[in-house]
């Protein structure tokens, strides 16, 4: 019998991950496995699969170069059982270890499976906390339980105090306030150029993976062309430095802006690396704070960026582990529509959706406001079934893991949790998209019109949404204005808007669930 078998999953690619701590290279082995089940439990974007497999292979090679014995199972290895549980069982049976050591996973379905491993395998299984985060699910729960309301803003304040990020010597927030969000809502003027993009040329390992993924998963939504993700911690670090150097100074001001044909603007594209373990969020926040301290980036940018990671990222993870598994079943607005086919094809005359979905097909990436206020807003207004929307988001983005995807979709975007995570639905008409982007200038629809054939569909859909949910929204002070506006419209106008929206929705083609 050998020492410990340390199982490292595809989003745990950090040398400091808990399961690798106290590793004894003389006795222990590390197991990593590419498995069909993880690539297809939803049919992930090929770029996501290629990123994960290539990053796994590079990580395994780094461990081996450090003298660690790695059992690395490739997707096409004979005998590959196709599941993580199956590969662990196979490795245990082949050479029984004293114990198995693993870090808790990022998805409930796998955590649920892990709970059965010890009994199934007949060896002790130690599941360690994932301390690559600032909080544990336990500490979040202890903070949240018993509070009258669980809000990101108060969570973030206590995280700032606890970690000391952007706090002055007297214990007050730098700049006199915790959030500079109101400064961070500017549209981007045409003359402001976006920063250069950080790209990594695929090496031989990545090229081999790209061929494998093209052959096995080329039929999934999205394209592999132009794959330029970092797949090692070293290259992810270079991506971070590139972002700090070129984009962070403008991150705040243009955080909510969108521009036709411009996928990144001042965003970092670092979630894909942090979520897989190639970058440590503490280090990312420290680098951002140092950029402010040196005068390279303004406070509204650095605070805005740190808030996304120290605040939102931790908050949604806390909500996920606290409320699962029931959270995934919530549907407070009773939404049951299927997903329009254009989410999978990008074929629609609505330019904002066509651009953001087309970019998603090409990049496996869209920035937050595209996710929330374009694709998400449409799904909310149209009343699409939350489970179908969740599946789409989990499929299409390279940074998608359920711990972060589900609360953002279920809570922030669809209000399916009834206001547990967000104080109000992020519902918006075409006016918002027109203000924050240049999309409407390229569109055959007019964001200022409501009922004509060329009227922006978001407008009638918005009032259809307020109208059909008015009983639920009336008690919400943050929705008082639209509800009052609806009351003042008069029944004829409301009926005309309802009819216009329904005609539009009825004319759409809808995807068969499971067809993509």
Q: Applying CB under 6 A, which residues contact ligand FAD?
A: 267-271, 274-275, 305, 308-309, 312-313, 316, 367-368, 371-372, 376, 393, 397, 399-400, 404-405, 408-409, 412-413
Closest CB to ligand SF4 among 236 and 356?
356
Binding flag, residue 356, ligand SF4 (CB under 6 A):
no
Whole-number minimum distance, CB 430 to ligand SF4, in Å?
4
Cα-Cα-Cα-Cα dihedral of 456, 460, 462, 466, to 10°? 170
CB 332 within 8 A of CB 417: yes
Using CB under 6 A, pick the residue from 244, 395, 398, 440 that binds ligand SF4: 440
Using CB under 6 A, pick the residue from 458, 462, 463, 516 that binds ligand SF4: 458
Using CB under 6 A, pick the residue from 4, 30, 38, 501 that binds ligand DLZ: 38
Binding flag, residue 383, ligand DLZ (CB under 6 A):
no
Nearest to 366 by CA among 394, 344, 392, 397: 397
Query: Quick one: DSSP state of residue 154?
Result: H
Whole-number minimum distance, CB 111 to ligand DLZ, in Å?
8
Binding flag, residue 31, ligand SF4 (CB under 6 A):
no
Q: Which does 467 bind (CB under 5 to 8 A by kind): ligand DLZ, ligand FAD, ligand SF4, none?
A: none
CB 293 within 8 A of CB 170: no
Closest CB to ligand FAD among 100 and 239?
239
Using CB under 6 A, pick the residue from 30, 328, 350, 473 that binds ligand SF4: 350
How many residues does the structure list for the chain? 516
Give the distance, in angstroms, between the CA of residue 103 and the centroid of all CA atoms in the same chain.
Answer: 20
CB 84 within 8 A of CB 9: yes
Binding flag, residue 447, ligand SF4 (CB under 6 A):
yes
Which one of the spans 36-44, 241-249, 424-432, 486-494 is the region binding ligand DLZ (CB under 6 A)? Answer: 36-44
Rg (CA), the chain: 24
Binding flag, residue 430, ligand DLZ (CB under 6 A):
no
Which one of the spans 77-85, 136-144, 454-462, 484-492 is the region binding ligand SF4 (CB under 6 A)? Answer: 454-462
Residue 253, token pair as written in the block: 């001001």
Distances (CA, A) of 460 to 129, 260, 429: 48, 23, 8
Using CB under 6 A, pick the residue from 84, 333, 366, 466 that binds ligand DLZ: 84
Give the distance, in angstroms, between the CA of residue 477 and the centroid of all CA atoms in the same chain.
Answer: 29
Helices 457-468 and 480-489 pack at an angle, to 10 degrees, of 100
The full 3-state SS of 267-293, as one line of letters, equals CCCCHHHHHHCCCCHHHHHHHHHHHHH
Closest CB to ligand FAD among 359 and 450?
359
Q: Give the interface with ligand DLZ as residue ranges (CB under 6 A).
A: 9-11, 33-35, 38-39, 44, 49, 52, 84, 105-107, 110, 401
């Amino acid at each position: 019998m050998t020492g410990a078998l340390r199982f490292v999953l595809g989003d745990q690619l950090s040398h400091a991950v808990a399961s690798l701590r106290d590793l004894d290279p003389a006795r222990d082995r590390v197991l990593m496995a590419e498995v069909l089940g993880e690539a297809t439990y939803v049919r992930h974007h090929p770029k996501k699969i290629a990123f994960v497999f290539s990053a796994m292979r590079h990580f395994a090679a780094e461990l081996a170069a450090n003298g660690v014995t790695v059992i690395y199972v490739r997707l096409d290895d004979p005998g590959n059982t196709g599941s993580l549980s199956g590969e662990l069982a196979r490795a245990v049976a082949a050479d029984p270890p004293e114990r198995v050591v693993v870090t808790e996973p990022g998805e409930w379905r796998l955590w649920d499976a892990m709970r059965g491993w010890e009994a199934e395998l007949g060896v002790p299984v130690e599941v360690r906390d994932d301390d690559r985060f600032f909080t544990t699910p336990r500490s979040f729960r202890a903070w949240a339980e018993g509070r009258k309301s669980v809000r990101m803003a108060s969570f973030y304040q206590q995280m700032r105090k606890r970690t000391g990020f952007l706090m002055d010597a007297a214990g007050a927030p730098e700049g006199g306030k915790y959030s500079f969000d109101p400064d961070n809502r500017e549209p981007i003027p045409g003359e402001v150029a976006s920063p250069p993009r950080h790209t990594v040329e695929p090496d031989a390992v990545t090229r081999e993976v790209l061929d494998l993924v093209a052959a096995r998963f080329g039929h999934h939504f999205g394209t592999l062309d132009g794959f330029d993700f970092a797949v090692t911690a070293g290259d992810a670090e270079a991506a971070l430095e590139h972002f700090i150097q070129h984009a962070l100074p403008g991150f705040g001001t243009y955080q909510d802006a969108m521009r036709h044909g411009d996928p990144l603007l001042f965003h970092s594209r670092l979630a894909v690396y942090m979520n897989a373990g190639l970058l440590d969020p503490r280090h990312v926040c420290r680098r951002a704070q140092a950029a402010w301290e040196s005068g390279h980036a303004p406070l509204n940018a650095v605070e805005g960026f740190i808030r996304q990671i120290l605040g939102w990222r931790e908050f949604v993870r806390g909500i996920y582990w606290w409320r699962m598994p029931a959270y995934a079943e919530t549907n407070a607005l009773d939404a049951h529509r299927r997903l329009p086919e254009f989410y999978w094809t990008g074929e629609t005359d609505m330019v904002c959706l066509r651009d953001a979905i087309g970019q998603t097909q090409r990049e496996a990436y869209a920035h937050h406001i595209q996710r929330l206020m374009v694709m998400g807003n449409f799904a909310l207004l149209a009343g699409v079934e939350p489970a179908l929307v969740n599946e789409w988001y989990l499929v299409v983005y390279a940074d998608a893991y359920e711990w972060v995807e589900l609360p953002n979709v279920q809570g922030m975007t669809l209000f399916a949790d009834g206001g547990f995570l967000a104080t109000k639905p992020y519902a918006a008409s075409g006016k918002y998209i027109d203000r924050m982007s240049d999309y409407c200038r390229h569109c055959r629809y007019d964001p200022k019109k409501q009922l004509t054939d060329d009227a922006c569909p978001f407008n009638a859909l918005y009032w259809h949404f307020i109208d059909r949910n008015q009983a639920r929204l009336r008690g919400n002070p943050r929705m008082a204005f639209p509800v009052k506006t609806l009351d003042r419209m008069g029944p004829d106008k409301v009926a005309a808007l309802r009819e216009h929206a329904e005609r539009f929705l009825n004319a759409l083609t809808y995807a068969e669930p499971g067809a993509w």
